[in-house]
Amino acid sequence: MKHAKGFRWGRKAKYKMAKEAIFHAWRYAYRDRKVKKREFRKLWQIQINAACRQYGIPYNKFIAGLKKNKIELDRKILSGLVQNYPQIFEKIVENVKS
């Protein structure tokens, strides 16, 4: 019952309803820990794509150029560079273009 604290209506007080609500909550929590990773990767890809297009290169060509030039930066780091250090990201894009 202590895990059902904060639930609404009868799901916090009635044992059977609380048990069922807890099992659903745990299942969703487990699933969404995986979904969160997917969602963040999608967000990073969108941010990198928008920044790349400002410099005249599509996302897929940019990623292919990174691999070809052996620049090993993941999407999380690239997205951070786009937001916080655009001048560094611009140099990376110029390096990939050439």
Residues 42-87 have pLDDT tens digits of: 999 999 999 999 999 999 999 999 999 999 999 999 999 999 999 9
Q: Is residue 1 part of a domain?
A: no
Q: Is residue 2 part of a domain?
A: no
Hunting for tokens 């690239």 — which residue is that? 78
The Cα–Cα gap between 51 and 82 comes to 7
Residue 69 belongs to a domain with what CATH number?
1.10.1900.20
Question: Structural domain tally of the chain?
Answer: 1
Q: Is residue 23 part of a domain?
A: yes
pLDDT-based confidence at residue 13 (cuts at 50, 70, 90): confident
Share of residues in the chain with pLDDT > 90 (%): 80
